[in-house]
Amino acid sequence: MATRNPYPTAAAFLPKTRSLRALRIASQTCEGCDLYAHATQTVFGEGPVHARVVIVGEQPGDQEDRAGRPFVGPAGALLDEALAHAGIPRDDVYITNAVKHFKFTQRGKRRIHDKPTYYQVQACKPWLDEELDALEPEVIVLLGATAAQSRFGRAFKVTQHRGEAIAHDGRVVICTVHPASVLRAPDDDARRDAREAFMRDFSAVGAAYRRTQRSRAHETHASP
């Protein structure tokens, strides 16, 4: 028998109007799971409403929690580098997280990242679902196991599918590791290898982006 989600989930906090602006405002008062009680604030997604690419991470980190913006720390800098490597304009990208509040363990004055549970991810899923519905992106990039499993279920393994272009709900979905894991590699050689693999995965993202771009151009040209 499946265990029931112990949290009320975010569904009750969704606004009647499902625009990105309305969702962002409503998310600030979300109490769909217990993470809101200790985080500084909700960190909602950020980017243009016409974005063709949506990038989904796990959750905000310490810097993101304080700033109220996703991917503003070192992982965000590496992500920007990967987008440039892939040839994807930053103004065609929306960035968000599967979980909108920072989960951490306090160690002295430091707040150490703590992985959200499956049920916390599921409780936050209505926000991500509504973001994707509002944006209607053509390409989705899932960074790390938490983001990937929020779309494909708990059995999904990023290591088995990273860099693959997966057709899902009418969109192209590509999974890779979270950039923070590249930065946490234990030594220079490991970081170099991890960075190269991450860039290869984003080359696949860039290729998918350009395929959808050509397809859109062809449809526009073919229409009467």
- Residue 67 has what pLDDT? 97
Q: Which residue has the tokens 């009680």?
A: 37
pLDDT at res. 181:
97
| pLDDT at res. 221 | 43
Q: Tens digits of per-residue pLDDT, 37-62?
A: 999 999 999 999 999 999 999 999 99
Residue 181 sits at the vertex; the CA angle it makes with 91 and 101, to the nearest 5 degrees, is: 65
Q: Global pTM? A: 0.94
pLDDT of residue 5: 87
Which stretches of the chain score pLDDT less than 50?
218, 220-223
Q: Order of strands across the sheet with 93-97?
A: 93-97, 53-57, 139-143, 171-176, 166-168
Q: What is the pLDDT of residue 4?
A: 84
Taken in order of first residue, the domains within the chain and their CATH numbers are 10-219 (3.40.470.10)
